[in-house]
Structure 1
Amino acid sequence: MLAEAGVSDTRFARQVNNRAKVQRRIELGLARTTVGHWRRGMKPRDPMVAELAAAELSALVGYPVPPADLGWRGESYERDDLGLAVADVPDDTLRTLAGLSGRDMRRRDVLHDGAAFAAIAFADPVLSSLTGVIRRIASDVPASPSGGTMIRDMTATFRRLDARFGSSEIRPQVVAFLHDRTRAAVDGPADTDTFSALAELAQFSGWLAQDTSRQALAQRYYIQALTLAEHADDVMMAGRVLSAMSDQAAALGHPRHSLALARAAIDRAARQSAPPVQAMLQDRLAWALARNGDESGCLRALAELERVITREPGDAPSWAGHYNPGDVAECQGHCFMLLGRAVIAEQRLLEARDLQGPARARTRAYAEADLALSYLRRPRPDLDAALEAGYRAVELAGSVSSTRITNKLTELDVAMAGFSKVVAAREWRTRATGVVARPRDQADPAAV
């Protein structure tokens, strides 16, 4: 990190000594050789020295670097809340995001002292978004000639790769790009276009963390993405982030919080959004209502989804351009599965098979797995049809690294286990081994 800051060992030692003199009124006498030892992996013995060195390093790189991020023991073990708070000042949000992405780049776990995802942590950011209390950037600040455009173009490229190959393959590159662009924004004027583009990139970084099972990290990226969107007064991106929060809460078993967040996304952005964005927000709302067993509410959301998707796209942002009738059919199928209406779900998912493009490998794998489940949940299960759809899902999933797909295929695998007396089902269990998550102590009938 000293190399990142462009500071020599000698200069860093001198600046830490000065900080000790000013803040602690002591002569520390730190030598450059000691700093060199730290570079090579040694740790400060004195927690006070660790605190002073980390504080100086934070000042040099422009974002927070606590001692724990360096593997050092500081003077206190306060709760790690980096990224959970909403900053009022735009520059503070940038520094927080730079610190979060910098820590992520160094592959240190964001979790300290048992911290983990907490649905309640979304409460303050959501309330701040809905009430408009987050400070907006002045509209007269000149936009960077290429900053926002370049960030959006790179993010769009990363999204295409994610849809085709999954999250873990590209996440390190995305985080490095986010860190670089955030640090550059700290040094430049705060303009709405750059903040809006960074909000999109931070939201995407949150999704990648979520899909690689780093849930607490994903939550923090989402909170900072929402804050950036509000600084830029980007209503559609704010809605997108709120719906992403809803998706994460649902995936982690918080259906009531998920529904509240999906409704917050509608309240914040639906009236001011282009039709494709409205469709995406209604999609998440329909899922949340289905998970909560509200069939009538879900059907209303699906009807609204069908209505808005037929309208002209208008001035839709590029990140919403992928949403198409195939996504609508998939959403309908997934929702009907959640509502226990497998026959209707089957019809919609078969329709989606013909509508969805081959580049959306993760989306297609998820839909094929749900289609297989729908066949198994018929009054008279159709195992052959389920196996055909299941093998399609496995083939699509083979090129995708995604926790979401692993979890869905594991759900299908559990359902297939109920047919273990059938040879074809046992063969499925063998062929699906590489793409499902089974407990180590679970006996595989195919191996018996």
Structure 2
Amino acid sequence: MVRERRRQFGAYLARLRKRSGVSQRRLADMLCALSGVQSVTRNEVSRWERGARVPEAWLPFIAQALSAPLPDLARAAAYARGEEHGRLAGPTATLAELLPPGDALESLRARTGRRIGRDAVSVLAARVHGLRLADDVLAGGDLIAPAFRELSAAVHLHREATYTEETERALLVQVGELAQIAGWIASDAGRHEEAERAYTLGISAARQAGNGPLVANLAGSLAYQHANTGREREGVELARAAVTEAGSAAPAKTRALFLDRVAWAHTRVGEAQEAMRALGEAHDALTDADGAEEPAWAYWVSREELEVMDARVLTELRRPLRAVPLLSGVLGRYDATHARELALYRSWLAVALADANEPEQAAEEARQVIEVSGDLASERTAERSRTVLRRLQGFQDVPEVRALFDDHGHLLVA
């Protein structure tokens, strides 16, 4: 059954390639150029099209090369692996089940494993970045299984292969980066305990590699989860510790990101002054960019994303007159393929509009949030849908709000 599904995926990929008018060799060259890793050959593309392999981590680059919708490719690949609708047909394995017992990062050099070099690490780096790009357009429930498979494979590679000290440091960095995106994906899927395990594993890997900004990214990601899941004070302490860990020499985008997380953590405990100060420091950090090389995982940090956090903080602090213009401006120019982020940002706009006593507009935004969220395997968007409905409960005498509750009020029923 799976073999036949793989052949079907291969035929689908071949049709996309031929429709784009490129040869297998040309597609391989394009994927190498887009990923920055020279590891795809014409023979590898041929194996994909014959159904011998499914090119999981290469899907974002294939979508870009062939101008194909990534969600469609991802669903087809999931089906080829024996999954249904992008999710495992049976229960997904937890991280605890995937990782070996004991210290997951213990280097077992006494074993006779294959020797790897920087080329193998470069291939892993491309797969990690491919997973990040997939997370831009797919939700956590769609990605958690492949993310954990990748993390498990990377940990086993570290445990069982042999390598130089330089290669080990590079490998540990990739394990840390993979743990961060896997944790983020698990958190989006509502699997918070598994996310915390992944983040903790990644912190261990990044520390061993001596990569302070990566340690801070993992700690800041965990702090963000704490701030949103009832552990707000822990979130503040961890977010601040992450900034200290990164140090003042960290690249500008990373410092801005870490300070944004500090701002959000303070917001969640109602510390407005500290939150606003951290937001200002985040903007200063991005403005004071000194040309230092930014890590690949910071690719998405931008002035626009900082404005989104500004608006979120202002919304939580009940300052809607400042939040609404910011969110409206960002939403007007945001990438339409990033459905989850659009739904999340609209949810804060809906709340800000309700706070500004504009329930009709708030109901319109809320309806879009809920309708988009229904198609996403994301606990974040599901919870934000419930949050928006709860905020609008006091406006049910307004026809637009009443109609919204007639259609979607059941989402608040336990």
Query: If the length of structure 2 is used for normalisation, what is the TM-score?
Result: 0.68
**Structure 1: which amino acid aligns with 2:273?**
S
Partner SS, residue 272 of structure 1: coil
1:214 aligns with 2:200: no
Q: Please show how residues 153-192 of structure 1 align to structure 2 within 5 Å.
A: 153-188=126-161, 189=163, 191-192=168-169
Instruction: State the AA in 1 paired with 2:389.
Output: D
The number of equivalent residue pairs is 306
State percent identity of aligned pairs.
Answer: 20
2:373 paired with 1:397: yes
Listed one character per residue, the Cα deviations across residues 28-52 of structure 1 (whole Å, up to 9, x for unaligned) are xxxxxxxxxxxxxxxxxxxxxxxxx
The structure whose Rg is larger is 1
Misfit runs of 4+, over 3 Å = 108-111, 430-433
C-alpha displacement of 1:309: 1.9
Cα deviation digits, residues 166-222 of structure 1 (max 9, x gap): 011111111112212221221223611110011010111112222222222211111
Work out the CA distance in 2 between the residues paired with 1:399 and 1:304: 37
Q: Where do residues 235-384 of structure 1 align in structure 2 (5 Å cutoff)? A: 235-312=212-289, 314-378=292-356, 381-384=357-360
Asked whether the 8 Å contact 2:256–2:285 carries over to 1, the reply is yes
Following TM superposition, by how much is the alpha carbon of 1:237 offset from its aligned partner in structure 2, in angstroms? 0.7
Q: 1:400 to 1:161 in 2, by over 3 A?
A: farther
What amino acid is the match of 1:211?
D
CA distance in 2, matches of 1:264, 1:143: 35
CA distance in 2, matches of 1:388, 1:213: 26
Q: Is the 8 A contact 1:143 1:192 kept in 2?
A: no
Residue 265 of structure 1 aligns to a residue whose secondary structure is helix
Cα gap change, 1:437 to 1:144, in 2 (>3 Å): farther
Letter in 2 for 1:150: V
* 1:11-30 correspondence runs (5 A): none
Q: CA deviation at 1:355?
A: 4.3
Distance 1:289 1:256 in 2: 8
- Alpha-carbon deviation of 1:274? 0.8
Q: Secondary structure at the match of 1:429?
A: helix
Q: Is the 8 A contact 1:203 1:225 kept in 2?
A: yes
Give the match for residue 439 of structure 1: 413
Distance 1:431 1:162 in 2: 30
Per-residue Cα deviation, 1:365-420 (whole angstroms, up to 9, x for no partner):
11111111111112xx1122112322332354344321111111110011223222
**Structure 1 equivalent of residue 39 of structure 2:** none
Flag the 1:400–1:146 CA change in 2: closer, same or farther, 3 A: farther
CA distance 1:274–1:179, shift in 2 (3 Å)? same
- After superposition, the C-alpha distances for 1:119-166 in whole angstroms (9 at most, x for unaligned) are xxxxxxxxxxxxxxx999xxxxx9822233222221222222222120
Return the structure number with greater helix share: 2
1:107 pairs with one of 93, 101, 108: 93
SS in 2 for 1:169: helix
Does the CA contact (< 8 Å) of 1:289 and 1:297 recur in 2? yes
Contact 2:95 2:198 in 1 (8 A): no
Q: What is the CA deviation profile of residues 63-91 of structure 1, one whole-angstrom value per residue up to 9, with x for unaligned ones?
A: xxxxxxxxxxxxxxxxxxxxxxxxxxxxx
Q: Identify if the C-alpha distance between structure 1 residues 149 and 108 changes in structure 2 by more than 3 Å, giving closer, same or farther.
A: closer
Q: Secondary structure at the match of 2:142?
A: coil
Kept in 1: contact 2:257–2:301 (CA 8 A): yes
2:206–2:215: 8 Å Cα contact kept in structure 1? yes
Residues 144 and 110 of structure 1: CA distance in aligned 2, closer, same or farther (over 3 Å): closer
Aligned mates of 1:356, 1:328 — CA distance in 2: 13
SS in 2 for 1:322: coil
Distance across 2 between alignment mates of 1:234 and 1:195: 9
Q: Which runs of 5+ in 2 are unaligned?
A: 1-89, 98-104, 108-114
Write the letter of the residue equivalent to 1:393: V
Q: Which residue of 1 aligns with 2:54?
A: none
Task: Give the superposition deviation at 1:285.
Answer: 0.6
Matched, 1:420 2:406: no
5+ unaligned residues in a row in structure 1: which ranges?
1-103, 112-133, 137-141, 441-448
What is the DSSP-based 3-state SS (H/G/I as helix, E as strand, rest coil) of the residue aligned with 2:412? coil
Describe the SS at the equivalent of 1:158. helix
Let me know the Cα RMSD of the aligned residues.
2.6
Deviation, 1:290, is 1.5
How far 1:359 moved relative to its partner?
Answer: 3.2
TM-score (norm 1): 0.63
Distance 1:393 1:310, change over 3 A: farther
Instruction: Quote how far apart the aligned CAs of 1:250 are.
Output: 0.8
Whether the aligned pair in 1 keeps the contact of 2:396 and 2:402 (CA below 8 Å) is yes
Task: Please say if residues 227 and 265 of structure 2, whose CA atoms lie closer than 8 Å, have aligned partners that are also in contact.
Answer: yes
Q: Which amino acid in the other structure matches residue 369 of structure 1?
A: S
**Which residue of the other structure, out of 355, 377, 386, is the alignment partner of 2:362?**
386
The separation in 1 between residues aligned to 2:226 and 2:266, in whole angstroms, is 13
Distance 2:253 2:334 in 1: 16
Contact 2:95 2:197 in 1 (8 A): no
Q: Distance in 2 between matches of 1:108 and 1:304?
A: 38
Match of 1:406 in 2: 382
**Cα distance between partner residues in 1 of 2:121 and 2:176:** 10
Instruction: Check conservation: 1:375, 1:385, Cα contact below 8 A.
Output: yes
How many angstroms does 1:308 deviate by? 1.9
